[in-house]
Amino acid sequence: MALRVICAILVVVAFNNLDSVNTLDCYSCTASLGSNFRCENLSYSGGTLPYYTCMYGDAVCAKYVIEYGDSLMIHRSCQHRDICAVLAAKYNNYYSKLLDCQTCSDHNYCNHSAVRKLAPFLALTLFFLGRVFS
């Protein structure tokens, strides 16, 4: 019985990681804060924002806010892993500043709002462990 559970968990882990080695899909939008509520708050967008498939090896989904003079711009897109450092160096002057930068690559569309969903792997693992110890 324990061997079957271990095999099932290994199969779940293998299938859970297939997508992460192939591609990464990220939401993509740019908007001035206050002008595009869908881009600002993806929880209310209904999943209708455009997305792109990242086609390079060090890709991450990024969400960052830049202050340009008196306006704030939010950006969501595929970027290279070092995007926050690049933007911090570029937008660090009197006219423009990087206010926030977040990256992720743990699952598709991870550059949404800060609310995280329970990973399918964790849910299945807890289910199998519950069956083993019950």
Euclidean distance between CA atoms 122 and 55, whole angstroms = 28
Residues whose CB falls within 8 Å of the CB of residue 90, separated by 6 or more in sequence, listed in order: 98
**Cβ–Cβ under 8 Å, residues 77 and 60:** no
Distance, CA of 29 to chain centre: 14
Domain covering 23-114, topology: CD59 (2.10.60)
Question: Would you call 3 exposed, middle or buried from its count of C-beta atoms within 10 A (0-12, 13-18, 19+)?
Answer: exposed
pLDDT (tens digit, 9 = 90+) per residue, 41-65?
776 656 677 888 998 889 999 999 9
The pLDDT of residue 25 is above 80: yes
The pLDDT of residue 82 is above 60: yes
Distance, CA of 3 to chain centre: 35
Q: Which pLDDT score, from 0 to 100, does residue 73 have?
A: 95
Beta bridge partners of 80: 59
The pLDDT of residue 112 is above 50: yes
Cβ neighbour number for residue 61 with a 10 Å cutoff: 27
**Cβ–Cβ under 8 Å, residues 24 and 47:** no
* Average model confidence (pLDDT) across the chain: 76
Please, where are the H alpha helices in 1-134?
Answer: 2-22, 37-40, 83-90, 120-132
Q: Could you state, in order of their start, the residue ranges of all structural domains in the chain?
A: 23-114
Q: Which of 20-24, 97-101, 103-107, 108-112 has the lowest mean pLDDT?
A: 20-24
